[in-house]
Structure 1
Amino acid sequence: MPQKLLKILLPLAAAAAILAAGAVWIWYPRPAEIFSAGAGQILRVDFLDVGQGDAALIRVPSGQNILIDGGPDQAAARALERLLPFYDRTLDLIILTHPHDDHVAGLISVLERFHVEKIAYTGVSHSAPAYLDWLEAAKKEGSAMVIIDRPQTLVLGADCELRFLYPRRSLAGASVENLNDSSIVVKLVYGRTSFLFMGDAEAPVESELLSVQEDLRADILKIGHHGSNTSSQAEFLAAVRPSLAVISAGADNKFGHPSPRILNRLLKNQAKIWRTDQNGSLAARSDSREISWPPPPLPK
């Protein structure tokens, strides 16, 4: 595995005090000299085409690499090898939204090819082989495991932060009826721009977030549950008001994702739609004032 990159960390006592006071992580960037000169002040979010699954790579202006989910196979690891420079084979954070195979199985290959500093997950109980193999791979890698059990904020640098909105209670060790509704929901904010990642969260999670009056407004929404009918209620979409909706799904998948009903609902909300099954991976960029993305290619 590549040598761990030097970090500047808060003393443990100070970190504990901050967490106790307001559930805020302070994460100092890695030394600037290890980043490419072209990094500038651009936030990069790549929604990866991994077939019937989810994976997104976030590259923060201050240098951190964050991966949300890993898809069902080695496609995410191969994409990371293309997107990250040869001298930087470290992921500062992996967020596993929930332990279904189409989100976790690909993370095994990621752990084999990259050094992973921290992993955020719910700790929910699940006995699927892919999830258990991933937990074993994470243990072997020595990544710090962080349980997300309440709303909290991870500060990534000036004007940039990750807000964990869900779950709002501990699910560690719990057996849940619907793993989709154990999904971590996270909002990435950079200046005046924002992205909302829903994992596979379904209508009950959306309703709970609406009931507690979370700030759900986001420029780009990663649609929950691959565009299934179980997610993306009209009231939820009205609260988010996305300019762009990203749907991660596999071509001709057996589930019929995305649902025509959800596609129509998004169009009624005047949201543009990017489908990985038709348009491939999406490279979105933010300068803290506005977000840009390329025009969609012709359907594959």
Structure 2
Amino acid sequence: MTTNMAGNTIKRILALAAVLCMICLTGCAGSVTVSDPSSAAAPGESGEQRADSRAVFHFIDVGQGDSTLIEANGHYMLIDAGERDQTEAVTSYLKEQGVRNLDYVIGTHPHSDHIGGLEGVIREFEVANVILPQKEHTTRTYERLLDAIEDRNCKITIPKAGESYSLGAASFQIISPNRDYDDNLNNWSIGIRFVFGETSFVLCGDAEKEAEEDMLSGGLALNADVLKVSHHGSSTSSSPEFINAVSPRYAVISCGRNNDYGHPHKETLDLLKKQGIKVLRTDQLGTIVIESNGTDLQVMGQNDTSQGTSKQTEESLSGSEYIINTNTGKFHLTDCKLAESIKEENRRQFNGTRQELIDQGLKPCKSCNP
């Protein structure tokens, strides 16, 4: 990327962010008014909750990327939108859910697997407010996003840890980033804690352990019923201390099937399993929808609530652990003697069902007969 382009990018995001100084602003296309963040209810104080109100989290399957749609009382926000080639999948899904306006669009950080599809979303829907971290990038994907924001006359908000915003009868608080992370884009990820009634959700983009340490020392509430596991389940995130602080019932991992990074990593899965946290993965289940009525959670289509889990549901969600030899195309039980001799570069851990592996064209080991 040329020096001129880098300079132009910095100037552009600073110019766009300058709209924060204006007293009164309209949303994209001038049709939606943005609430003043300072007047939003603090988490746990989001106003009276109607008996029929609900909050729904849609962890959209965008392959090796992230995209989460949140609905509360007819209000919507979108966090990330996968790679650019997922634009149609995300916009179509939003339309299927009846989305016409988005109160907020959050691009957690400038990596393409998070912001690639946001350009198309901003051009397709009425967007009241775009929230981006104060970290410029010089890729063409990021340039396109800024072009869309500028073309649609959107307001950019630079988040600050501790600020709270309202969404219908719910609210969310910014919990990261907490400081300057130089060129580590993952640690610049915008993290939020979303509260609806007595239920809560934490989502932190690709924040790594360094950023998690800052969240732990930041003094803000982190406990939640649901954690969207950072960085697609990579071992660079999800420190034991952070997982203990959040202490979720459910851990949602967004990743692509048979991705090149080996996500989610075994270390992360072992930690979640040790803590008794139920793991839900988009590479195994597709789009995951969790609904809250303000008291209980339900994983839609799984006949499961936070009050108890049937044995059948438990098996369908978590399956079993297997070891895959990517060189031979065979899978083994974790205690199989042959699995112990697999070279590290050919070894991959899989948490799911036997049938899923067979459907992928893999063959069971004849020795351990998994």
Give me the TM-score of the superposition, normalised by structure 1. Answer: 0.83
- Does structure 1 retain, via aligned residues, the 8 Å contact 2:108–2:190? yes
Residue matched to 2:173: 163
Q: Which runs of 5+ in 2 are unaligned?
A: 1-27, 43-50, 303-315, 318-352, 360-370
Shift of 1:4: 6.0
Find the partner of 1:25 among 4, 16, 40: 40
- Does structure 2 retain, via aligned residues, the 8 Å contact 1:42–1:286? yes
Shift of 1:292: 0.9
Percent identity reads 35
SS at match of 2:61: coil
Matched positions, count: 268
**Cα deviation digits, residues 195-251 of structure 1 (max 9, x gap):** 000100000111111123331111010000000010001111111111110000011
Shift of 1:26: 5.9
Alignment of 1:1-300 (within 5 A): 7=33, 15=36, 19=38, 24-25=39-40, 40-61=52-73, 63-72=74-83, 73-74=86-87, 75-83=89-97, 85=98, 88-158=99-169, 160-169=170-179, 176-294=182-300, 295=302, 299=356
- Does structure 2 retain, via aligned residues, the 8 Å contact 1:282–1:293? yes
- Does structure 1 retain, via aligned residues, the 8 Å contact 2:249–2:278? yes
**Cα deviation digits, residues 79-127 of structure 1 (max 9, x gap):** 21222x2xx5211110111010000011112122212111011131211
Give, as a single letter, the amino acid of the residue that structure 2 aligns with 1:152. Answer: E
Shift of 1:50: 0.4
Give, as a single letter, the amino acid of the residue that structure 2 aligns with 1:202. Answer: E
Shift of 1:40: 3.5
Distance 1:138 1:64 in 2: 21
Alignment RMSD, CA only? 2.3
Shift of 1:176: 2.3
C-alpha change, 1:200 and 1:6, in structure 2 (3 Å) is: closer
- Does structure 1 retain, via aligned residues, the 8 Å contact 2:40–2:171? no
Distance 1:89 1:156 in 2: 15
Q: Which of these two proteins has the greater Rg computed from alpha carbons?
A: 2
Distance 1:292 1:4 in 2: 37
Greater RCO (CA < 8 Å, at least 6 residues apart): 1
- Does structure 2 retain, via aligned residues, the 8 Å contact 1:122–1:184? yes
**Cα deviation digits, residues 12-43 of structure 1 (max 9, x gap):** xxx5xx83xxxx5369xxxxxxxxxxx93011
Give, as a single letter, the amino acid of the residue that structure 2 aligns with 1:244. Answer: Y
Give me the TM-score of the superposition, normalised by structure 2. Answer: 0.68
C-alpha change, 1:106 and 1:293, in structure 2 (3 Å) is: same
Give, as a single letter, the amino acid of the residue that structure 2 aligns with 1:165. Answer: I
Q: Which runs of 5+ in 1 are unaligned?
A: 28-38
Instruction: Find runs of 4+ consecutive structure 1 residues off by over 4 angstroms.
Output: 2-7, 296-300
Moved more, 44-53 or 73-82: 73-82
- Does structure 1 retain, via aligned residues, the 8 Å contact 2:103–2:167? no
SS at match of 1:231: coil
- Does structure 1 retain, via aligned residues, the 8 Å contact 2:32–2:127? no
